[in-house]
Structure 1
Amino acid sequence: MATQDFRGKVVLITGASSGIGRAVARVYAAQGAHLVLAARREPALRDAAREAEALGVRALPVCCDITREEDVARLVRETEAAFGGLDILVNNAGLGLYGPVEGFSEAQLRQVFEVNFFGLVRVTRAALPLLRRRAPGSRVINVSSVLGHRGLPLLGGYGASKAAVNLLTESLRAELATEGIRVLLVSPGLTETEFRDARLNAEGWAQDSIPLDAMSAEAVARALVRASRRGNRETVLTLPGRVMVLANRLVPGLFDRVARRIANPARRP
């Protein structure tokens, strides 16, 4: 077993059945944390719980759709019944959207915001009483994206939902600071997961393979857990992601031109 930095801590992870969420669960479990794993796909969720328990910790799988108020309330009730409190909340669940602003439907955009933004708000608000029981020292970790810092062509709908997460994180960080609850933001770049397979696409639009090196879900998970241990307020992952964010701050006009070139070619029937 790996180091035990989080021995006995309780971590709730949304979107925990695959990708970054499942990888985060493994890293926390290897460091001694007990887990509450939330996602919609129950078989995969139970597999993730078994993986964690094989590392010697408790893992509670809770089938939960974070767009449903009643599911979120049940998630928090089961967490409280099993562990009595919560040390770390990882808001990881997300949904992608690809296509031009004039191409995706309002229903698609609302669906993305319902998962990426409103779902995050819903879970955070419900979990705050449990986080307060473990304060000072408890954490809220919001998983955003480099696209929440800088929009790119054909990714504006998804990026807008993550930009909303970024601003909400800043507000929440200030609101909870006096209570000893740290609010952290982790912004991955391109990551090798099933995320793109489940993404919504504007009608007639599809994305070819991306000609950039992607970060593994495991590498993102290690960086996230490291940030939670150190209390880093903001973490931007991948070198291209950090360069993009910095270039947009320093030379936004130049990066506007660059953005038109680095946007992945799309095909439309």
Structure 2
Amino acid sequence: MSRSFSGLVAVITGASSGIGRATAHAFARQGATVILAARRAERLEDVARECESLGGRALPVPTDVTREEQVQDLARQTLDRFGRIDVWFNNAGVGVFGRFKDIPSDVWRRVIDINLFGYVHGARAVMPVFRRQGHGVLINNASIVGRLAKPDSTAYATSKFAIRGFAEALRQEVLDQPDIHICTILPAVIDTPFFHHAANFSHHNVRAAPPVYTPEKVARTVLGLVQRPRAEVIIGGAGKFGAVLKRVAPSLGTRLNARALNYGFLSNEPSGETTGTLFEPARDRFTVRGDWRKGPNNGGVPLLATLALIGIPLALAAWKQPSLPMHRRR
């Protein structure tokens, strides 16, 4: 980064693994203080030790983001210890795979509770702090699914679309506060334990559809937003291409996305039903990465290549085709 973050105070939810853990490490390397929130107390202690060894300060605060009182306490402990909050990264999230008809209602609701209301609780806790301070950066992790959706993930897609709308509404509410920023990141497929931890009612094993990007890439983007806030940032070339295709050829984008992602995320191997980490945290070996980038092909269709080979010619054809007068269309 171009300058030190020494003295900066950042709260990170979902900090025990994946993007949250990688981001905690990135802040710590820059000398920042990180407040680590997740359900797994023992994992948070591990992350705190890692951050301190990297040169930062760390405070682990076990937190279930679906419990608003716990999120309020997270903010309160941060203020009591450090006196301010400069950055709040809403990152805790879960997923579920399966057709809409196969996902139980309590599972659907739990995904919304964690992914959406967890972020609402975070904003409720930190926005009054930002207003009192006159500055602050709230960063929401919404996923490229919040722009494109994907099959077999209706609850997850709904939560991510909602996060983008929530962030935009908050952005409009702080126009009177030029030093308060609301940012949204939309990562493509990232090499984290997310796919190991997801609930699954698809009856197929879940895997990460390539290309798979590193969590460190996301962490660098988060730190960059602290220095230069932007409303929304897509992370990963596949996500950027998908967003362009969706804009210039919406129907084609929907069809291509549905077919490529359905094949990419679900293998032919059968799987039993599981609620993953929705109701209980995982007790596994995974920390930052999920080991999805190993080997020549980590399962599924290489998404970027598929989009490039199929999508570009069709998108160009759709772009060049002259529009017909309304009476001829009818």
TM range (shorter): over 0.9
Q: State the superposition RMSD in angstroms.
A: 1.6
* Partner Cα separation in structure 2 for residue 259 and residue 189 of structure 1: 13
Aligned residue in 2 for 1:171: 169
Aligned residue in 2 for 1:9: 8
Is 1:118–2:120 an aligned residue pair?
A: no
Aligned residue in 2 for 1:142: 140
Query: Relative to 1, partners in 2 of residues 1:111 and 1:258: Cα closer, same or farther, differing over 3 Å?
Result: same
Report the CA distance between 1:36 and its aligned residue.
Answer: 0.8
Is 1:212–2:210 an aligned residue pair?
A: yes
Aligned length: 266
Report the CA distance between 1:56 and its aligned residue.
Answer: 2.7
Aligned residue in 2 for 1:106: 105
* Partner Cα separation in structure 1 for residue 133 and residue 22 of structure 2: 24
1:66-77 mapped onto 2 (5 Å cutoff): 66-77=65-76
Aligned residue in 1 for 2:158: 160
Report the CA distance between 1:99 and its aligned residue.
Answer: 1.0
Query: Relative to 1, partners in 2 of residues 1:98 and 1:5: Cα closer, same or farther, differing over 3 Å?
Result: same
Report the CA distance between 1:4 and its aligned residue.
Answer: 4.1
| 2:67 aligned partner, one-letter code | R
C-alpha contact (below 8 Å) 1:84/1:130 kept by paired residues: no
Aligned residue in 2 for 1:36: 35
**Percent identity over the alignment?**
36
CA deviation map 1:190-247 (0-9, x unaligned): 0011111111122x52344344121111111112211221112110011111111111
C-alpha contact (below 8 Å) 1:85/1:133 kept by paired residues: no
Structure 1 unpaired stretches of 5+: none
Aligned residue in 1 for 2:128: 129
Query: Relative to 1, partners in 2 of residues 1:130 and 1:102: Cα closer, same or farther, differing over 3 Å?
Result: same
Query: Relative to 1, partners in 2 of residues 1:262 and 1:45: Cα closer, same or farther, differing over 3 Å?
Result: same
CA deviation map 1:139-164 (0-9, x unaligned): 00001100000112112221110000
Pick the structure with greater CA Rg.
2
C-alpha contact (below 8 Å) 2:111/2:156 kept by paired residues: yes
CA deviation map 1:117-141 (0-9, x unaligned): 00110111012222234323x1000
Aligned residue in 1 for 2:300: none
* Partner Cα separation in structure 2 for residue 72 and residue 103 of structure 1: 32
* Partner Cα separation in structure 2 for residue 205 and residue 11 of structure 1: 39
Report the CA distance between 1:264 and its aligned residue.
Answer: 3.2
Deviates more, 1:92-101 or 1:251-260: 251-260
Q: Which secondary structure state, in structure 1, belongs to the residue aligned with residue 148 of structure 2?
A: coil
* Partner Cα separation in structure 2 for residue 259 and residue 56 of structure 1: 42
Aligned residue in 1 for 2:241: 243
What TM-score, normalized to structure 1?
0.93
CA deviation map 1:25-68 (0-9, x unaligned): 11111112111110110111011111111133221100000111
What TM-score, normalized to structure 2?
0.77
1:50-61 mapped onto 2 (5 Å cutoff): 50-61=49-60
* Partner Cα separation in structure 1 for residue 225 and residue 203 of structure 2: 36
C-alpha contact (below 8 Å) 2:195/2:206 kept by paired residues: no
Q: Which secondary structure state, in structure 1, belongs to the residue aligned with residue 183 of structure 2?
A: strand
* Partner Cα separation in structure 1 for residue 104 and residue 246 of structure 2: 28
C-alpha contact (below 8 Å) 1:154/1:263 kept by paired residues: no
Query: Relative to 1, partners in 2 of residues 1:257 and 1:73: Cα closer, same or farther, differing over 3 Å?
Result: closer
C-alpha contact (below 8 Å) 2:195/2:207 kept by paired residues: no
Aligned residue in 2 for 1:257: 255
* Partner Cα separation in structure 2 for residue 193 and residue 211 of structure 1: 12
* Partner Cα separation in structure 2 for residue 210 and residue 35 of structure 1: 29
CA deviation map 1:60-95 (0-9, x unaligned): 100000111221122122111101110000000001
| 1:97 aligned partner, one-letter code | V
